[in-house]
Amino acid sequence: MAHRIKDTAGLCCPCAEREGCNCGAPCTMVECRTRGGTATLVGFPEFDDPLIPPRKYLTKTLSGTVVTDLWHDAAGTDPVTSTPSANSTSQKPIPGFTAMQVTTADPAPNNYARVSALSWARLTDGRTIVRVSSTFLVTNPPYPGGGWTLTWTTSGGGASSASPYYRGLGNTAQGGNTELWVGRGVIQATLVLHVPGYSSQSFSFRIDGDGASIPMRETLTYSGSSTIDPDTLAQTDDGEVSGEVWDPYAEELVPDSADELGSIDDATTRLASGIFAAAAETATTHSLSGNGATAQFGGYSFWRSVSSSSLADTLSVEDTEANAITRLLAGSGGTWGAWTTVGDGLGATCVPTSCCKSTWEPRGAGEFSFAYQEAQYRVTSTGNTPGWSVTMRVRFYRKLWGAPVESYALFAEETLVRTADIDGKVEATGDVPIEQGYDTYLQACARINT
């Protein structure tokens, strides 16, 4: 027996001989319906050297610690420093010093001015401080009391002096420890103890040092993530920072904390722009180091530079093409179109309007969207003898997406056996195979089994 192919008006077309089918009375009609559209990956793109095709990720994780140096000037030569008393926990005696005392004889015997100890400490920022431990006793006000003067020069040039003055109250001795920042490098100093109208004593000393100029440092540690909802495209930042930052009003380091920090952009905007440089990067990791520059933040009269940084953003949870297709089919792209009569033309003539075709566009460099179309076929053979067995043969041809139509080639075949109903009609339905990077269409014919 044979078949004929109906045209789009439903009329039987002239028969085309094919293997397994020959011309005769029965007529085969192919109908098709499709669904799909354009599917798109969403999320964060790769940082560097993206793959082909490129990827996108739904989560960006922030981690790392930044240490910043603080400066009074844009050139980064005048460091912001802490107060000496906050750092002078390790005092060293100044060699050769013994207690100094000036005692009065008249009109109030046994009144005195005394320096009992002289010590120094090198701070972590390179500064040197000197501690003077003194006591004063005056029993007959308005006796002028006593005092001391410390003068010094540094290897950096310049001279400075400090002259705390103490007066006794009644019969109670008073005094204490006084700490002075005397500079960096080599210190040459002289301490003079005196009581007005009486003799004075002095002691000269030297402190060697390397003159290091290390500024106050902030240390901030970040952790958090940014996530993108693939359905709504809403971005959620969830993270925190902990550590200390410089308070220019209190002139000290104060605790710092914040949430909703999800990325390096959030972290760097809390410090200053222009002081970071991209470190080694991969497609999924973006890290920052310092670039050696200084920058102001928020108009404050201090500058920052990066001492060290392990800040990094890491991408994870890839948004796949399968995910994009699922979203497409969950929306308007998932509605099947109406059944439409089509031809099953040869590869050389097959075009979307005349064939039942599936397609899955491959993505190239920089492309995140692709065409995706599923197809279902319905093959109907009429004019058969009721109750007779009918073999329906469905063949699938495909070519690489974008290749010329002449390259269609047979790659799969289905043979379906049906029994003609009382009207002599048989029907078979199924899916046109779909594979990434290919266009696929079908041919169909029916043969009455004798």
Q: What angle do CA 52, 54, 56 make, to 5 degrees?
A: 160
Is the per-residue pLDDT at 429 higher than 50? yes
Predicted local confidence at residue 292, as pLDDT:
82
Task: Classify burial at 208, counting beta carbons within 10 Å of its beta carbon; exposed 0-12, middle 13-18, buried 19 or more.
Answer: exposed
Predicted local confidence at residue 295, as pLDDT:
82
User: Could you tell me how far CA 402 lies from the centroid of its own chain?
Assistant: 37
* pLDDT classification of 86: cutoffs 50, 70, 90: very low
User: Could you tell me how far CA 50 lies from the centroid of its own chain?
Assistant: 16
- The string of DSSP codes covering 169-205 is BTTB-EEEEEEEEEESS-EEEEEEEE-TTS-EEEEEE
Task: State how far the Cα of 401 lies from the Cα of 360, in Å rounded to an integer.
Answer: 8
Task: Classify burial at 24, counting beta carbons within 10 Å of its beta carbon; exposed 0-12, middle 13-18, buried 19 or more.
Answer: middle
- If one compares 92 and 106, the residue with the highest pLDDT of the two is 92
When mean pLDDT is compared over 113-127, 235-249, 423-437, the highest value belongs to 423-437
Average of pLDDT values for 337-351? 63
Predicted local confidence at residue 169, as pLDDT:
46
Task: Classify burial at 408, counting beta carbons within 10 Å of its beta carbon; exposed 0-12, middle 13-18, buried 19 or more.
Answer: buried
94: nearest Cα among 130, 126, 143? 130
Give the N- to C-terminal CA distance of the chain in Å, as an integer.
Answer: 8
Predicted local confidence at residue 201, as pLDDT:
87
Average of pLDDT values for 373-383? 87
111: nearest Cα among 137, 134, 135? 137
Predicted local confidence at residue 346, as pLDDT:
42
Predicted local confidence at residue 1, as pLDDT:
33
Task: State how far the Cα of 221 lies from the Cα of 259, in Å rounded to an integer.
Answer: 12
Average of pLDDT values for 180-209? 79
Predicted local confidence at residue 175, as pLDDT:
73
* pLDDT classification of 155: cutoffs 50, 70, 90: low
Per-residue burial over 180-207, b = 16 or more CB atoms within 10 Å of its CB, e = otherwise:
bbbbbbbbebebbbbbeebebbebebeb
Predicted local confidence at residue 21, as pLDDT:
41
Contact 388, 419 (CB under 8 A): yes
* pLDDT classification of 318: cutoffs 50, 70, 90: very high
Contact 262, 224 (CB under 8 A): yes
How do beta strands 312-318 and 56-71 pair? antiparallel
Domains in the chain (CATH in brackets) are 27-41+321-448 (no CATH), 44-77+215-318 (no CATH), 84-207 (2.60.40)
Task: State how far the Cα of 295 lies from the Cα of 268, in Å rounded to an integer.
Answer: 12
- If one compares 377 and 128, the residue with the highest pLDDT of the two is 377
* pLDDT classification of 152: cutoffs 50, 70, 90: confident
Average of pLDDT values for 350-354? 50
Residues whose CB falls within 8 Å of the CB of residue 238, separated by 6 or more in sequence, listed in order: 224, 225, 226, 227, 259, 260, 262
Largest interatomic CA distance in the chain = 147
Contact 313, 264 (CB under 8 A): yes
Residues whose CB falls within 8 Å of the CB of residue 352, separated by 6 or more in sequence, listed in order: none
Residues whose CB falls within 8 Å of the CB of residue 90, separated by 6 or more in sequence, listed in order: 121
- Kind plus residue range of the DSSP H or E element containing 135: strand 128-137
20-29, 231-240, 302-311: the lowest-pLDDT one: 20-29
Amino acid (1-letter code) at residue 72: H
Residues whose CB falls within 8 Å of the CB of residue 211, separated by 6 or more in sequence, listed in order: 126, 155, 156, 184, 185, 186
Whole-number mean pLDDT of the chain?
76
Is the per-residue pLDDT at 428 higher than 50? yes
Predicted local confidence at residue 313, as pLDDT:
87
The pLDDT tens digits of the residues spanning 413-423 come to 888 888 889 98
pTM: 0.61
Q: What percent of the chain has pLDDT over 90?
A: 17
- Per the listing, tokens 């002259």 go with 163
